[in-house]
Structure 1
Amino acid sequence: MRHTLPLVPQFYVTAPQPCPYLSGRMERKLFTALQGEGSSALNDALSKQGFRRSQNVLYRPSCTDCAACMSARIRVADFQPSKSQRRVLKRNERLKRKATSPWATEEQFSLFRRYLDSRHADGGMADMDVFEFAAMIEETPIRTRVIEYSDRLTGELVATCLTDILDDGVSMVYSFYEPDSEKNSTGTFIILDHIRIAQEAGLPFVYLGYWVPGSPKMGYKAKFSGLELYVGGTWEKMRGEDEYSAELHPLSTDPIAEQVANISLPELR
């Protein structure tokens, strides 16, 4: 008997584990596999509904009593760089952008290790080896690019971003950079350059991942104009930061069955 993959995605929930953004809380994720001919359509559709990609999995926070994590994206047409962001662009003029296929290199991994050891030594990715790194970069069933930023004078790799190409924008899956370049606000520059990439490609959005009120790790995302948040099943223009709450409440999230029932899926053939 011939076995085939189901046409309708199957959704699952992870076991609770410590939240990486807000101390003392537990996180849980709703996820589905990303595979087969309909991968791109599924990724496009679910990205518009607050999901993110990690290798061949799409996931979205689904915590039992917390709804602090909100998917964030920049509406390119509404973005206006601040004075400080224009200075960041000026300071990083020495960097040269190159887009490549999703293929891991030793130079990327060395940079990745320096970045983790300096900024996230106690994070969930701290123990990643070269094989796991290669899987993070290379295991993608959709249109993905590795955006490298090198010093024009020395040729040294300064920053890298794993970037998905969606039907309505670019999604910054994961970025890392030389710790010594932090004084130049390299992380901010990578986002600013992805806004330019989206403009050049005629795409309306840059997807940034999640913004979490009350989390210092996520505060930088609120500094970009044109920011939209996915709240209550719709995208809305970000209001003042103090208008969003990270308070716990037992009715913060709908039951899993209701969440799944409300997901809009593309027509997969």
Structure 2
Amino acid sequence: MNTQATSSPQFYLTAPAACPYLPQEMERKVFTHLVGERAPELNDLLTQGGFRRSQNIAYRPACETCRACISVRILVNEFTPRRSMRRVLAANADLVSHEYLAEPSSEQYSLFRHYLDARHQKGGMSDMSVLDYAMMVEDTHVHTKVIEYRLREEGSGLKERPQGELLAVALTDRMGDGLSMVYSFYNPEVADRSLGTFMILDHIRRAKALGLPHVYLGYWVKGSRKMDYKTKFLPQEHLMPRGWERYNDETNTT
């Protein structure tokens, strides 16, 4: 397959496969390569159009009979954390976060492996090796960062890379209009910290500090319980057939 950058991106369609979110459905994806000098610009345009990035591929669902996957982005400037989210922030006040270039480490992979083994034993990523993880992080032609979240350790702030216990990691793209959370993982043994929620709240904070209006969360799949958390960060917009539309779920009030 030709992966060289051209003046116009070339799009491809995958064969049908079992849907990982809705067992009764089959999924197909349309995808293109994000390579060359125009990759950041193309990634911006495609993300705004409902695509997601995985390594140097941008993809979006192209299922024949199902439209359950809906792109979600948080409206950063209007966001106010709810009471339950403020509790999460307080529970993680002893964490410090640091942003690095998209470079993997053995410590990250150890945490990644622990997370997969505990939470996603049957998922599509369950057999990823250390080399697969390195590719997931490094194989990017866009503006990608790794954000590490560690327990605060006395004196560690003076070091180039703090040494407190690593509890969570986020792989994040910076775009012209926001931050896109490509993938995140955390220590599953500290569930009371709600680290998944905490990382999203931290990205909202980061986006606001950078003057960026959106945090992109990927796809919300109505009917998939594992995706319900994404609709708790209000207000947000969903990409519908007519474009981005404001979404408000009045059931999320705590």
Verify same fold: TM over 0.5: yes
Aligned residue in 1 for 2:156: none
Does residue 31 of the first structure (1) align with residue 31 of the second (2)? yes
> Given residue 33 of structure 1, which amino acid in structure 2 is its aligned partner?
H
CA–CA distance in 1 between the matches of 2:64 and 2:49?
19
1:173 to 178, 182, 194: 182
**Cα distance, 1:240 vs. partner?**
3.7
1:195 to 192, 204, 207: 204
Matches within 5 A, 1:14-163: 14-153=14-153, 155-163=164-172
Unpaired runs of at least 5, structure 2: 154-162
**Cα distance, 1:180 vs. partner?**
1.0
Using structure 2 for the length normalisation, give the TM-score: 0.92
Q: Cα RMSD (Å) of the superposition?
A: 1.3
Does residue 13 of the first structure (1) align with residue 22 of the second (2)? no
Matches within 5 A, 1:170-249: 170-240=179-249
Unpaired runs of at least 5, structure 1: 243-269
**Cα distance, 1:239 vs. partner?**
3.9
Does the C-alpha gap of structure 1 residues 85 and 31 become closer, same or farther in structure 2, counting only changes over 3 Å?
A: same
**Cα distance, 1:6 vs. partner?**
2.2
Using structure 1 for the length normalisation, give the TM-score: 0.87
Where has structure 1 moved over 2 Å in runs of 4 or more?
239-242
**Cα distance, 1:233 vs. partner?**
4.4
- Does the residue aligned with 1:20 lie in a helix, a strand or coil? coil
Does the 8 Å contact 1:49/1:233 carry over to 2?
Answer: no
**Cα distance, 1:23 vs. partner?**
1.3
Deviations 1:95-152 (A, max 9, x none): 1000000000000000000000000011000000000000000000011100000001
Deviations 1:68-118 (A, max 9, x none): 000001010121110000000000011100000000000000000000000
CA–CA distance in 2 between the matches of 1:64 and 1:241?
31
CA–CA distance in 1 between the matches of 2:6 and 2:179?
28
Aligned length: 239
CA–CA distance in 1 between the matches of 2:242 and 2:75?
17
Does the C-alpha gap of structure 1 residues 89 and 5 become closer, same or farther in structure 2, counting only changes over 3 Å?
A: closer
Does the C-alpha gap of structure 1 residues 232 and 189 become closer, same or farther in structure 2, counting only changes over 3 Å?
A: same
Flag the structure with more relative contact order, 1 or 2, with Cα contacts below 8 A and sequence separation at least 6: 1
Does the C-alpha gap of structure 1 residues 195 and 5 become closer, same or farther in structure 2, counting only changes over 3 Å?
A: closer
Does the 8 Å contact 2:75/2:213 carry over to 1?
Answer: yes
> Given residue 152 of structure 1, which amino acid in structure 2 is its aligned partner?
R
Q: Could you tell me the percent identity over the aligned residues?
A: 54
> Given residue 62 of structure 1, which amino acid in structure 2 is its aligned partner?
A
